Amino acid sequence: MILYLIRHGATEGSERGLYYGATDLPITAESEKELRALAERGGRPDVKRHYTSGMKRAEQSFTALYGDIPHEALPGMREIDLGEFEMRSYDELKDDPAFIEWCSGDNEKNVCPGGESGEQVTNRALDALKPVIEAGEDAVVITHGGVIGGVLARLFPNPNGRFAFTPGVGTGYAVEFDGTRPVGYRRFPEE
């Protein structure tokens, strides 16, 4: 079985360099055009099972890539809730003691004030993926960069953690499973 984890298109938040996760932003019109062009070039997995995180940017990206075909939402695949840091830039946060504390130490276990930790996000994402993997059929999930990075880092440990696997918009990974055991991964679309 192959599980494709694809990052949604660009948003105003990503273009402005804002910290956001739980804020339900749409993709930009330009990103929607780019995703449609990517789909035309074969940049979408041909699978039978289709999922999104259910967030607006994932739903819009799914539609740009696949059109109006049936799919399911997996709310456990939504992006991290950054709590008090949502929709703020680094320049706004860099002197905030809570932000400094959050950034120091273990970036997987540190919980954002009013939000979640990376570890919490990865745990809920893996719980959401469990029935998809157990079904044993090729599938695609349109989700979020931090979620993809966390899942891949847990399945294939790397010294750089999730940051070794965070994909660009409209790209991601094809993860191969033998039964429910992850055995390999590759970038998608291949470069």
Map out the domains of the chain as residue ranges.
Answer: 2-188
The model's pTM: 0.95
Summarised one tens digit per residue, pLDDT across range 62-83 is 999 999 999 999 999 999 999 9
Q: How confident is the model at residue 42 (pLDDT cuts 50, 70, 90)?
A: confident
CB 150 within 8 A of CB 118: yes
Question: Taking 90 as the threshold, does the pLDDT of residue 165 lie above it?
Answer: yes
Write the pLDDT tens digit of every residue in 1-36: 999 999 999 999 999 999 999 999 999 999 999 999
Spatial separation of the C-alpha atoms in residues 52 and 148, rounded to whole Å: 12
Q: Domain 2-188: which CATH class? A: alpha beta
Instruction: Calculate the average pLDDT of the chain.
Output: 95
Q: Which residue in this structure is represented by tokens 């360099």?
A: 17
- Read off φ and ψ for residue 188, nearest 5 degrees: -140, 135
Share of the chain above pLDDT 90, in %: 91
The pair phi, psi for residue 17, each rounded to 5°, is 70, 35
- pLDDT at position 105: 75
Q: What is the Cα–Cα distance from 187 to 191, expressed in whole angstroms? A: 7
Angle, to 10 degrees, between the axis of helix 118-135 and the axis of helix 145-155?
Answer: 70
